A and B are shown apart, each in its own frame.
Chain A
Amino acid sequence: MFFSEKRLMPALSGLQNQMSMNPTQRESFDRNEAHARKIAKMVHLVHVSSTNEVSFDELLTEPPHSIPTSDHASYCSDATRRAEDLLGLARSAYFYAGRACPAFGDLALAFEPSIENGHTVSVSSIDTGGLVHPKRYIKCEVAGTDEDAARIEFGKDCEVKGSDWRGEFARFLAGYFEPLADYWKGRPAYEDPEKVFTLGDDCRAWTFEVRFAEPQLILDRVAWTAKKSQLELLRRKQAAQPVAVPGDPISVLDQFLNQPPLNPVGSDVFCEELESWIMTKVGV
């Protein structure tokens, strides 16, 4: 057997059986597995910032200069906290594996895999908030007379057990995406038992959600992009800073701006630009 299926998330627990019935899926898995492992090992974690009541520049310049966990009353919604409670998840800072999700926002940040070191990380193969939201944003077919309860059970099963989430992500990529670039540019090529991959168009149904139990320092980003208006706002904020004198520490805003954005004039399609950068970096 090529991996143990006992403690796997739903999409992987039935994969062996699916592939035995579908030689095409087996063939693409075998062909893509090694490449998928490389991608999974390197794939960046992405966070898209919105402006709700806390603007990005406030997050950046105010201590702790971090992407907050859902403990932050205004950065994350009550719906997020409700989903965490239903699924037994800790209050978390939310990232997605390689994808800018949701793509609505003003600025996107990418982080190296190494930011996981020394942190408590939990991972699910789906956007948990969208799955168990009362309005059922993500479509699926789950067994049970009480669909809400069945969704919660399914959501719990979607949590990747153990510490090697990138190993499972590799098998997930190889098992369902053909070509592998379709994780970013398309959708899964094969159906999963709960039809999460086929009933809707929303990529959150097949994007790995990575949660940190602690806030994540924004300055740890390895790449970032933003809309032009966000860059103009940062330029304005920087210009309004007090003049530094020798010996002053470098401001957090200056430290952030020391790394150029991927596009120096900004772009309306900043999420797509960041995803393209990631695809290039991980060799897709």
Chain B
Amino acid sequence: MDNDKSWSLIDVNDVDVIGLAGSALVECGTSLPVIQRRSDKMFCRFVVGSAPLQWSPANELDRLISEGRISPFDSPVPLLLPAGSPQAEQPAVIYLNQEFMTQADVTLPAEIDGFPCTWIHLPKEAVATSASCLPKSIAEKLLDEWAEKLLTKLDEHLSEERSPASVERMLHLADLGLCAATDKSLRWRLYLRYGSSMAPDRVRRTFDSFIQREFPDCKWDFYLSEMKDVQKVIGSRGPVAAQRSPLSPIANKLHNIALCRDSERSLVSAGC
């Protein structure tokens, strides 16, 4: 299998993850890991695939960091493999900053699905940012969990009476949710709330440049009607949904399941 080739070309016991390719441009996301051999300090972007890895000499690392092409960790971490799983999976560096952690109300897990998460600081970032190298599927699962939390918070705000401050906060939460979300259904639900939170004159432009490209079968009118429906449903719950009671996590979960089903039905009917 081609994907096995990249793994067979490295000795995981001789390799550390030293940073991520490119920059942490937004509050959270993933990027390819930059790995370095302990033996000769050569480094490369670790891309699992059929092409050979492009190793660069250690003395070039500082230049690439100074050009913003690599974001370094404050110390190297081992490249871990998921126990019992095939080696073919692409690893990804997941990162999130303090702003995201505060808004999404998340903490850094020590492990996910039995896979240990070693969190490391990205020292070049203006806002405190943590990162961990995980199998891509696990990194995306974590991002989607965080996006789901933001979605729940958003719905609490959508049920409240609107003020300029609350609209601004909803837009920020939806924006952060989209930065995190990778699952298609979750992204659709966030886009519905993102549109609801934006100044009305700006929605069409975002729809044309981003939403329709992700959901090519979704027409403008359908998006508008879905947005309206979601607002109506959430609004009809009134302030009850916004008030946190001891049962609210369960209520929120049920609420999300219902909305998710609504949304999936919408996606199916839109042919998305």
Report A's interface with B, CB cutoff 8 A.
50-53, 55, 77, 79, 102-106, 130, 133, 135, 137, 184-187, 200-203, 227-233, 235-236, 238-239, 241, 243, 254, 257-258, 260, 264-265, 268-269, 272
In the complex, A231 Cα to B64 Cα: how many Å?
22
Q: Of the 9-residue stretches B51-59, B73-81, B235-243, B258-266, which lies at the interface with chain A? A: B51-59
Q: Is there an interface contact between A265 and B214, defined as CB atoms closer than 8 Å?
A: yes
Contact partner, A264, options B64, B69, B213, Cβ 8 Å: B213
Chain A residue nearest in CB terms to B29: A229
Q: Is there an interface contact between A51 and B68, defined as CB atoms closer than 8 Å?
A: yes
A106 in contact with B22 given A203-B54, A239-B206, A254-B209 (CB within 8 Å): yes
Neighbouring B residues of A241 by C-beta, 8 Å: 202, 205
CB distance from B150 to the nearest CB of A (A): 13
Q: Is there an interface contact between B29 and A202, defined as CB atoms closer than 8 Å?
A: no
In the complex, A51 Cα to B70 Cα: how many Å?
10
Interface pairs (26), CB distance under 8 Å: A51-B68, A52-B66, A79-B63, A103-B45, A103-B54, A104-B64, A133-B60, A135-B59, A137-B56, A185-B50, A187-B52, A227-B22, A229-B25, A230-B22, A232-B25, A232-B179, A235-B206, A238-B210, A239-B202, A243-B202, A264-B210, A265-B187, A268-B30, A268-B90, A268-B136, A269-B90
CB distance from B27 to the nearest CB of A (A): 9
User: Does B201 interact with chain A (Cβ within 8 Å)?
Assistant: yes
Q: Is there an interface contact between A50 and B209, defined as CB atoms closer than 8 Å?
A: no
Q: Is there an interface contact between B55 and A201, defined as CB atoms closer than 8 Å?
A: yes
In the complex, A235 Cα to B194 Cα: how many Å?
11
Q: Is there an interface contact between A235 and B23, defined as CB atoms closer than 8 Å?
A: no
Besides A229-B25, A243-B199, A268-B31, 19 new A-B residue pairs in contact (Cβ under 8 A), listed by A number: A50-B67, A51-B25, A77-B66, A102-B69, A104-B45, A105-B22, A106-B25, A135-B57, A185-B50, A202-B54, A202-B56, A230-B25, A231-B210, A232-B26, A236-B26, A264-B214, A268-B30, A269-B32, A272-B47
Neighbouring A residues of B68 by C-beta, 8 Å: 50-53
Contact partner, A135, options B45, B60, B198, B206, Cβ 8 Å: B60
User: Does B49 interact with chain A (Cβ within 8 Å)?
Assistant: yes
Contact partner, A233, options B26, B198, B201, Cβ 8 Å: B26
Tell me the residues in window 187-228 of chain B with beta carbons closer than 8 Å to chain A beta carbons. Answer: 187, 198-199, 201-202, 205-206, 209-210, 213-214
Q: Is there an interface contact between B175 and A229, defined as CB atoms closer than 8 Å?
A: no
In the complex, A172 Cα to B32 Cα: how many Å?
31
In the complex, A25 Cα to B60 Cα: how many Å?
33
Q: Is there an interface contact between B59 and A268, defined as CB atoms closer than 8 Å?
A: no
User: Does B170 interact with chain A (Cβ within 8 Å)?
Assistant: no
User: Does B151 interact with chain A (Cβ within 8 Å)?
Assistant: no
Q: Mark B115-134, 1 if CB is under 8 A from A, else 0.
A: 00000000000000000000
Contact partner, B52, options A51, A186, A258, A272, Cβ 8 Å: A186
In the complex, A257 Cα to B210 Cα: how many Å?
9
Chain A residue nearest in CB terms to B58: A135
User: Does B178 interact with chain A (Cβ within 8 Å)?
Assistant: yes
A238 in contact with B179 given A137-B59, A265-B214, A268-B92 (CB within 8 Å): no
Q: Is there an interface contact between A50 and B206, defined as CB atoms closer than 8 Å?
A: no
Q: Is there an interface contact between B23 and A238, defined as CB atoms closer than 8 Å?
A: no
Neighbouring B residues of A102 by C-beta, 8 Å: 56, 64, 69
Q: Is there an interface contact between B57 and A272, defined as CB atoms closer than 8 Å?
A: no
Neighbouring B residues of A265 by C-beta, 8 Å: 182, 187, 214
